[in-house]
Structure 1
Amino acid sequence: MLILYQFQRTWGNPNLSHFCCKTETYLRMAEIEYDIKTTLPLSAPKGKLPYIKDGDLKLADSRFIIRHLKTRYKDLDKGLNPSESALSLAMQRLIEEHLFWVTMYSRWQYTDANWQVNKKAVFGVLPPVIRDVAALVYRYRIGRQIYGHGIGRHKPEEIFELGMLDIDALSACLGDKKYFLGDQPTTLDASAFGFLINTIACPIESPVKDHGLSKSNLRNYVDRIKTEYYADLRQP
């Protein structure tokens, strides 16, 4: 059976990792059987989570994982026309290459209160003797990544202004539809849910979270998908 390696569940959500949540949501939307093993990215391929083992195959990065799932199991995007496929790709890039970094700034750099919540969720499984050291090292590394991306070079209010534009685009794209591209879930929905729940439905506070919560269609979308595909989860 396919095994998904990811962070442990926390905050009553599928996963604190946007990309882990995206991958598991695709598995559930496509009704693919899988097991979960919780781990940290220290020994993961490419040093990141999630990754999967499917028979003799070990594969990292949610994009390549989902490409494999489409080929071997079920392609949720099979019915999309070229225009819809292009929109799906563009929106995933907005979510995963821009909004993601705004939320990472919120967790790792914005306020000490956010950092303490994030630190406990990510590193709480480690023995106390190494927990603080590991957290300090990773906070520095991720801070450099945020700066290298470019988003970390801006003032906080500028970062969140850019993130709010992403939220506006997502809200406008969804409109009053059940899913982003119609009545059936696609890869875009797996991505959007994984990132939106980790923006507006987790205990990390920011102006972008507040702005997302002001969009009733996005709130309802996250609640609906969590109820439909993660009914087994219990609130903390």
Structure 2
Amino acid sequence: MAAPLELSCWGGGWGLPSVHSESLVVMKYNADYELSAKQGADTLAYIALLEEKLLPAVLHTFWVESENYFTVTKPWFASRIPFPLSLILPGRMSKGALNRILLTRGEPPHYHLCEVEAQIYRDAKECLNLLSNRLGTSQFFFGDTPSTLDAYVFGFLAPLYKVRFPKVQLQEHLKQLSNLCRFCDDILDSYFRLSLGGISPAGQEMVDANLQKLTQLVNKESNLIEKMDDNLRQSPQLPPRKLPTLKLTPAEEESNSLRLSP
């Protein structure tokens, strides 16, 4: 019998079982066996809306916004990746997020990054408003039982809601939508209480202090590696030295062959 598959997910922080949206989506949710055909179609439509309108802003908040990336995202992910990949992978993930945003949203008339940023945040706020109106006063999007859509929405919203960013443009808008915040709190309390455990205020302060120290260390190491790389690139490259070749006369070749023969 084949061994059961095991899914590895990014770890937690800030009161979340994971700060990675896709990890949160798959960790715990009920099947859609009670949904009607129309509700199943609505699920697919809202998931497409999340990926088109909200995902670019989530990627930008975590990976492209400079202050958020260097003070929160990069140190957190680097602390969970073995050295020396911890110095390489966060930067690659940041570039990948930026490329994805520009490839999907950088078409005319938005040619410049600042224009793209303004548009993706407008779209994200509109998406949050639509989700808030759809949820209303219900506990979940399709009644009293969580579905795939609830898992997707929670996976996108919970990191925005809980992670302590210095730049909080989208986070502030989310916190004004009280039913979406209550939705995240209810799922955390109902489905992730055992995996989280309580963190006291003093413990949270220690976590924040350690994160700040880790931020300084990772940034210092990254700057050192970048400086070494720049020095190597700027150092003069000497052309390969050509070794002189000796050309023997026919008489010398015959003498050497006689000397080597038994």
- How high is the TM-score relative to the length of structure 2? 0.66
Alpha-carbon deviations, 1:142-174, whole Å to 9, x = none?
A: 221221121685343332111100100110010
2:146 counterpart of 1:143: no
Give the structure 1 partner of residue 9 of structure 2.
Answer: 6
1:188 to 142, 146, 149: 149
Query: Residue type of the partner of 2:187?
Result: I
2:129 counterpart of 1:174: no
2:61 counterpart of 1:106: yes
2:231 counterpart of 1:228: no
Q: Is 2:28–2:191's contact at 8 Å kept on the other side of the alignment?
A: yes
Query: Residue type of the partner of 1:219?
Result: C
Which stretch has the larger CA shift, 101-110 or 170-179? 101-110
Q: Which runs of 4+ in 1 moved over 4 A?
A: 127-130
2:179 counterpart of 1:217: yes
Q: Is 2:19–2:159's contact at 8 Å kept on the other side of the alignment?
A: yes
Larger of the two Rg values belongs to structure: 2
SS at match of 1:106: helix
Q: Is 1:100–1:195's contact at 8 Å kept on the other side of the alignment?
A: yes
Deviation for aligned residue 1:90: 0.8
Deviation for aligned residue 1:129: 4.3
Name the CA shift for 1:187/1:127 in 2 (closer, same or farther; >3 Å): closer
Deviation for aligned residue 1:231: 0.7
Name the CA shift for 1:80/1:123 in 2 (closer, same or farther; >3 Å): same
Give the structure 2 partner of residue 63 of structure 1.
Answer: none
Give the structure 2 partner of residue 22 of structure 1.
Answer: 25
Deviation for aligned residue 1:103: 0.7
Q: Is 1:16–1:198's contact at 8 Å kept on the other side of the alignment?
A: yes
Name the CA shift for 1:2/1:132 in 2 (closer, same or farther; >3 Å): closer
2:84, 2:27 → 1: CA distance?
32
Q: Unaligned regions of 5+ residues in structure 1, if any?
A: 31-75
Give the structure 1 partner of residue 124 of structure 2.
Answer: 163
1:136, 1:190 → 2: CA distance?
28
2:104, 2:181 → 1: CA distance?
28
Query: Residue type of the partner of 2:144?
Result: D
Q: Is 1:103–1:199's contact at 8 Å kept on the other side of the alignment?
A: yes
- How high is the TM-score relative to the length of structure 1? 0.72
Deviation for aligned residue 1:25: 2.2
Q: Is 2:56–2:120's contact at 8 Å kept on the other side of the alignment?
A: no
Q: Is 1:25–1:194's contact at 8 Å kept on the other side of the alignment?
A: no
Q: State the Cα RMSD in Å.
A: 2.0
SS at match of 1:5: coil
Structure number with higher helix proportion: 2
Query: Residue type of the partner of 1:125?
Result: R
Aligned residue pairs, count: 188
Structure number with higher strand proportion: 1
Give the structure 1 partner of residue 161 of structure 2.
Answer: 200
Q: Is 2:25–2:151's contact at 8 Å kept on the other side of the alignment?
A: yes
Query: Residue type of the partner of 1:131?
Result: S
Deviation for aligned residue 1:127: 4.6
SS at match of 1:94: helix
Alpha-carbon deviations, 1:188-221, whole Å to 9, x = none?
A: 1111111110222222343211111001101111
How do residues 41-190 of structure 1 correspond to structure 2 at under 5 angstroms? 76-127=31-82, 129-150=84-105, 153=113, 154-190=115-151
Which stretch has the larger CA shift, 142-151 or 97-106? 142-151
Q: Unaligned regions of 5+ residues in structure 2, if any?
A: 107-111, 205-262
